[in-house]
Chains A and B, each alone.
Chain A
Amino acid sequence: GENVEQHPSTLSVQEGDSAVIKCTYSDSASNYFPWYKQELGKRPQLIIDIRSNVGEKKDQRIAVTLNKTAKHFSLHITETQPEDSAVYFCAARVNNNDMRFGAGTRLTVKP
């Protein structure tokens, strides 16, 4: 089955700096890669996703890149703000099968 690895486990940046979180996946048939933001005790919230036929997608301060050859994808947050502090999870899914999550990255944005 699919195996997703995520790095780093914790990330601390100064407000205004950029943050990058990286994930790798094992199943080359995976074709959907969402990123979720989860605040303590709350549900994961989809912040951006990308499909395997696209190499990059951007939504304001958030962007995701996908390298299918290397089987890795990354989340980029620019101009970070304290409210970006949360745990971020990447995930990967093969067709209609289950979605597998990375271990999560705790992002702290220092004011």
Chain B
Amino acid sequence: GAVVSQHPSWVICKSGTSVKIECRSLDFQATTMFWYRQFPKQSLMLMATSNEGSKATYEQGVEKDKFLINHASLTLSTLTVTSAHPEDSSFYICSARTNLAGFPRDEQFFGPGTRLTVL
């Protein structure tokens, strides 16, 4: 149980285009989803936190108009990188938590990540 998937696993796009990344909790309802960005040989940096049906809370320095997050259901969150530029190239990882009975209360389950390359 507690599987999180991401799609696509990798994407290459031209500068100025938008890219949507999907994060799904496959066998549980994710009450909270998190989006992280990881540059090569660096740590995971939290971009935003979203609760189902609510607006995402962005970390300081993360542009909410550039990184659009939608958490429309308990099993799906999307991150859209708008007008992507080469400096947006990174590994984007989502994770999910649930407060439902039967699942570890504190644990965050991570998706496999999406490698974005902007040319």
| B108 / chain A contacts, CB cutoff of 8 Å | 34, 99
**Once bound together, how far apart are the Cα atoms of A48 and B96, in whole Å?**
18
Please determine whether B106 and A43 come into contact, CB atoms closer than 8 angstroms: no
Given contacts A51-B106, A98-B34, contact A41 B113 (CB under 8 A): yes
The A interface, classified by DSSP as helix, strand, loop or mixed, is: strand
Number of B interface residues, CB 8 Å? 19
- CB of A42 within 8 Å of the partner chain: yes
Is B54 an interface residue when CB atoms closer than 8 A count as contact? Answer: no
Contact A102 to B43, CB < 8 A, known contacts A44-B110, A46-B107: yes
- Which residues of the other chain, B, contact A44 by a CB distance below 8 angstroms? 44, 93, 110
Residues of chain B within 8 A of A98, CB atoms compared: 34, 46, 49, 59
The residues of A that contact B110 with a CB separation of less than 8 Å are 43-45
Please report the C-alpha to C-alpha distance between residue A42 and residue B91 in the assembled complex, in whole angstroms: 10
Known interface pairs A89-B43, A99-B108, A102-B43; 17 further A-B residue pairs with C-beta atoms within 8 A, sorted by A's residue number: A34-B106, A34-B107, A34-B108, A41-B113, A41-B115, A43-B113, A49-B106, A93-B106, A96-B32, A98-B34, A98-B49, A99-B46, A100-B46, A101-B43, A101-B45, A103-B43, A104-B42
